[in-house]
Structure 1
Amino acid sequence: MNAQTAPLPRPVRRLKTVITQQPEVVEAAQRLRYKVFSEEYGSDLGATNPGIDADEFDRYCDHLIVTDEYTGKLVATTRVLHHNKAKEAGGFYSEGEFELSSLYQLPGPLAELGRTCVHPDYRNGATISLLWASVAEYLVSRNVDYLIGCASIGMSDGGLKAWRIARYLQREFLASEEYRVTPLRALPHLTRTLNEDRPVDVPALIKAYMRLGARVCGEPCWDPDFRCADLLVVLDVNNLASRYNRHFMRHKAR
């Protein structure tokens, strides 16, 4: 192979994570969220500032950021709303989609993960693992017992994919009765029969949830703003902590 046809070298990347509430960093995360959710997936975010996805929960959250040190680019983000701050915020974001009374009966504090997204150029296992390493460290250090969050599935095909994934997750990863919740806007059922024998293409972020021991809390909700189906998932942080040194610290050391 001569020099003219040789493949270009892969760009060098060095990723780091930070937990922050700094306004300028949070705004950069909000711009990435807008790019992914609105420009890429067509969600109607009702943005009041062009190019920025922001809501009333952002100021109460800790924002977990992954940055490429070589380029300075912010490449992934999620946010965590701790139960103490949720009281100030008037509740968790997911209470706009699900009735959560059963989860408030759990014997320990909750935190909520939300607005998770990754830049399309960095959607790989390394980035997602590093983001989860930061989440895990946060939860353990702040003595959170249960993590909840909405796992989103696109509806571009009218809902067939969403129902197939939802049924698969309910079949394989359904939480026990004490974790069950009820959607406030039930996802409309299909008029056709699902073929449950076909392979299911579960989104990478949901796969990451399930690998860490998360469970689905019941039926999906229809989110018209994000034009997706949401499943509420719950993760017992004790299970996450037991895997922490074995899995996540390996990624953080790179």
Structure 2
Amino acid sequence: MSAEGDPMRVMLRKGRYAARLAETDQDLKAAQRLRYACFIADGGQDDGIEADDFDARCQHMLVEDTRTGELVCCFRLMPLSGGAEIGQSYSAQYYELSALKAFDGPMVEMGRFCIHPDHKDPDILRVAWGAMTRFVDDNGVEMLFGCSSFWGTEAEAYLDAFDMLAEKHLAPMRWLPKVKAPKVIRFAAERLRRPLDRKRAMLGMPPLLKTYLLMGGWVSDHAVVDNDLNTLHVFTGLEIRAIPPARAKALRMVAG
């Protein structure tokens, strides 16, 4: 059933898109099929599912096209009471996050963010962030974090993007993740000494990561090579109180 058919379940509606939390096994399976199409299948097939043990511990946000009922975007959310629980997160499999144990406010890990490959409408991302903003506000979240993924496992295509991250967007030392995964790209340590092509850097930056950075987010100093999902990902954090006031106001206008 689409969000259009049951308005009581809708968290946020803007234009033709509506966001809601998954409530049924059917909802979860729809999200897992979209994840499969985005992360696993070649050519956008949707005949499989992408699932793991963390799904049962998370809430799942769905963004649907209210005209067709089609799921066009999804992501999952794992609330934590604070940094003491950081070891329970998905990200902790790949990053040594002991520095974040000192964070004393509520946190939420956002993961498996994906938009249907056949849908390019920028309003989808706006609605997704509006729904996330409402979730953060409703739950008093003070830090949002997760893994931001670059498609493929070859770093050469993203050298300018990695150089820009190293130049401007590394995590504060007090929160900086350390290396844990067996195969990583230490882009901050191996930064190329050449002029930075900022246009190419932005073209190579995943849309989700761009949004994090515009709000004052930061990243790890290395990328993890994830052959299972065919991605390179960087740990990404955003302290809610650090969001520039104008950005926060714009987000809450979408979420309102």
TM-score (normalised: structure 1):
0.81
Q: How many aligned positions are there? A: 234
Partner of 2:166: 170
Give the ranges of 4+ consecutive aligned residues of structure 1 lying more than 6 Å apart after TM superposition. Answer: 85-90, 189-192
Aligned to 2:128: 131
Of the three residues 178, 181, 195, the one matched with 1:182 is 178
Identical pairs, percent: 26
Matches of 2:193 and 2:110, distance apart in 1: 30
Q: Offset of 1:120 from its aligned partner?
A: 2.1
Is 2:93 the counterpart of 1:96? Answer: yes
Instruction: Compute the displacement of 1:117 (Å).
Output: 0.2
Partner AA of 1:113 in structure 2 = M
Give the Å deviation of 1:235. 0.4
Query: Partner amino acid for 1:165?
Result: A
Match for residue 23 of structure 1?
25
Q: Which residue of 2 aligns with 1:238?
A: 241
* Change in 2 beyond 3 A, CA 1:164/1:141: same
Stretches of structure 2 lacking an aligned partner (at least 5 in a row): 1-14
- Bigger CA drift: 179-188 or 208-217? 179-188
> How far off is 1:40 after superposition?
4.2
- Equivalents in 2 of 1:193, 1:177: separation in Å? 22
State how far apart, in whole Å, the 2-side matches of 1:237 and 1:107 are.
13
Residue ranges of structure 1 left out of the alignment (5+ in a row)? 1-12, 43-49
Number of the residue aligned with 1:80: 77
Distance 1:64 1:147 in 2: 15
SS at match of 1:177: coil
Partner residue in 1 for 2:62: 65
TM-score, normalised by the number of residues in structure 2: 0.80
Which string of whole-angstrom CA distances, capped at 9 and with x for unpartnered residues, describes residues 66-93 of structure 1?
0011100010001110115999997100
Query: CA contact under 8 A between 1:60 and 1:89: conserved in structure 2?
Result: no
Q: Aligned letter for 1:131?
A: A
Letter in 2 for 1:227: N
Cα deviation 1:217-250 (Å, max 9, x = unaligned): 3221221212221110110122349457621244
Residue number in structure 1 paired with 2:10: none
